[in-house]
Every structure is written in C-alpha cells, then in structure tokens.
Structure 1
Amino acid sequence: MKRSIKVLVVALVLLFAGAKAEAQVKFGHINVGELVSSMPDIKDADKKIQEFANTLDGQMKTMTTEYQTKIADFQAKEKTMTDPIKEAKVKEIQDLEKRIGEFQQKAQQDIQKKQEELYAPILKKAEDAIKAVAAENKIGYVFDSSKGVIIVSPDGDNILPLVKKKLAIQ
C-alpha cells in the first residue's frame, strides 16, 4: 500500500514537472526597424514617396514664385494705386498666402498618407514573416528591440537573421 502511494506520488510529480516544462514559453526579439530598412521593397517605396514629394514641391515653388511676383509688383506700383485698388491687391496677396499655407498642410498630409499606403504591405509582409518564424521556432513572444523595450538579451533569442532568411534578404 505504501509502495503504491509512493509510486502514485512520484508519477504525479513527474506528470506536473512534465506539464510545467511544456508550459515554458520561449521569448525572442527583433529589431523591426533594421528588418524593414533592409527590405528591398522599402527602397522602392521611399523612391516613390520622394518623387511624389518632389511633384508637390514643384507646385509649391510655382505658388511661391507667383506670390513673390505679386508682392514685388504691388511694392513697385503701390504709390500710384488708388485705395480701392490697393485694398484689392492686398486681399489678393493675403488670399494667395492663405492658399500657400493650406497647400503646405495638405501636401504634408498627402505625403504622410502616401507613405502609409506604400509602407502598409511592406510592414504586413515583415509581420507575417516574423509570425511564421516565431511559429516555426515555437517562440511565444517576440519583442521589438528597436523600441528600446529589451535591456539585456542573449544573441540566441534574436530572430532577425531567421526572418531575413525567410524573406530572402541578404
């Protein structure tokens, strides 16, 4: 009887120890910023964003040139203008200033929107690769070390080389 109780206790201890060993979760880390910057797709996206920004910048330069021309014209002819014409010219210049300011804001928003639009599939691809590597290596949690979350970590937990391999990045 004592012997069967001892066997039962030992079996329970081994069972719980085995369950505890299985319950251990692996952690990994990756520098997502480094991963994304090494992806070839990001260079294409950055080039498209720069081209888009250059187009908007060209439009901005045209508006600025028009503004400067109107200012110079106004200053040159101001002494010969009647008050109603002066007021109309000042209002025209102020309206152009306002349009330039609105254009700058809209341009910044459009560039940000374009960046988000072009980066979304790249970030999704990176995220999918990270998830796949984590699943293949039975890693329960992956931390982004580019955010400064991890203070100390062993090199073996860095999954960046595995994810780069998965994405065929050198």
Structure 2
Amino acid sequence: MRKLINVICVTAGLMLSVSVANAQQKLGHINSEAILSVWGDWTKAATEINNLSNTKQQEIDKMMGEYQTKLKAAQDKEDSRSVSNQAQVNQELEKMGKELNDLQNRIQAAREKAQKDIETKQQELFSPLHTKIGNIIKTVAKEKGFAYVFDIAASQGFNNIIYSDGGEDLTAEIKSKLGISATATTAPAATKPAAGTTKPKN
C-alpha cells in the first residue's frame, strides 16, 4: 500500500513539473499575410514574378494563335479537296500537318520552359527573403523569451494554430524590424505573392 502511495506521489510530482514547465513556455503568433502584403521587398519580388509570368503567357498565347490560324487553313484546304485536285491537296495537307505537329511541340516546350523559368526566378527572389524574415522571427522570439510562435494567416489555412485567443501578437514588431511603416496599407491584389511562397521559414 505504501509503495502504491509512493508511486502515486511520484507520478503527481512529475505531472506537476510538466504543468509548471508548460506554464513557463511563452506562446506568440504572427500574421504573415499582414507582414508580406506590405513588405516592399516581398511585393516587389511578387510583382516581378507576375510580370515574368504574364510575359511568358503572352508568348505562348501568340504561338497558340498561330496554331489556330494554321489549323483553320488546313481545315479549309481539306474542305477544298475534290477528285481533280486530290493528289495535290493531300500533299499540301501532309506538309501542313507536319507544321502543325512541329508548332504543337514548340508550344509544349515553351510551356515547360516558362514554368521552369518562373520557378527559378521565384527561388532566386524569395529564398533570401524567406531567410531574412525567418531570422528576424527567431531574433524577436529569443528577445522576448517565446518558446513558440505560430502563424495565424488565413492563406496558411490556420493550420499553424488551433487556438488564437492568447499569446502575444508579434506582427507589428516583425514589420518594424523589416522597416515597414506601421501605417502601411495592404498591397494591391496584383502584387499578392504566388501560392506556396507566403509562408515564412524558420
């Protein structure tokens, strides 16, 4: 019986220690959307990515327009085929078919290259920014003695926090250390960071 009481006391002591330790752990949170949407370096990079994407899309659209024109010409040529010109038209259609196939391959190659170029540019522009904001978040957390900092941005699906009533909001301080004015307004939708690039890395 005494042994059982001792075990219960030890267990209770361990649970109390864990509770005290947890109580001493400070929790904080940030809203990455509120930071990134007004951070000049980030919105500038996002704008550059959007411009590159638009340029690539225009190039592909031009090729697609050329493809549609050639396809229509081939269809018209086929409609003009008769018994008297069948051999000649068939020869011309074969040539046009090869041109269409070649253009289709070039369009596919252009799409793949555009995707690769955009991903490379995203890595080039956003990687150092992720590192910068990640380091600042770590610095602020250490300065203020926080054990955990959660991101409560809607774009993250609120998946980094399950309860947001509590903790200290560090968003303003992160903005300050990034040199963002407290009165800065949200950037236009056109400069909104691309999906998958908004989450600060720590």
Aligned residues of 1:133 and 1:166 also touching (Cα < 8 A):
no
Which is worse superposed, 27-36 or 77-86?
77-86
Opposite residue 151 of structure 2, the aligned amino acid is: D
Question: Which runs of no fewer than 5 residues in structure 1 stay unpaired?
Answer: 1-16
Query: For 2:133 and 2:33, how far apart are their aligned partners in 1?
Result: 10
Listed one character per residue, the Cα deviations across residues 114-167 of structure 1 (whole Å, up to 9, x for unaligned) are 223211122222111111111110112212222313232345521111211222
Percent identity, aligned pairs only, is 38
Aligned residue in 1 for 2:170: 159
Aligned residues of 1:130 and 1:163 also touching (Cα < 8 A):
yes
Match of 1:122 among 123, 129, 138: 129
Question: Which runs of no fewer than 5 residues in structure 2 stay unpaired?
Answer: 1-16, 183-202
Highest CA radius of gyration, 1 or 2?
1
TM-score (structure 2 length as normaliser):
0.64
Aligned residue in 2 for 1:13: none
Aligned residue in 1 for 2:42: 42
Listed one character per residue, the Cα deviations across residues 70-105 of structure 1 (whole Å, up to 9, x for unaligned) are 223223333254423322321221221232133223
Map 1:23-102 → 2, pairs under 5 A:
24-78=24-78, 79=81, 80=85, 81-102=88-109
Query: For 1:87 and 1:24, how far apart are their aligned partners in 2?
Result: 78
Aligned length: 152
Decide which structure has greater helix share. Answer: 1
Aligned residue in 2 for 1:137: 144
SS of equivalent to 1:38: coil
Opposite residue 76 of structure 2, the aligned amino acid is: A
Aligned residues of 1:36 and 1:126 also touching (Cα < 8 A):
no
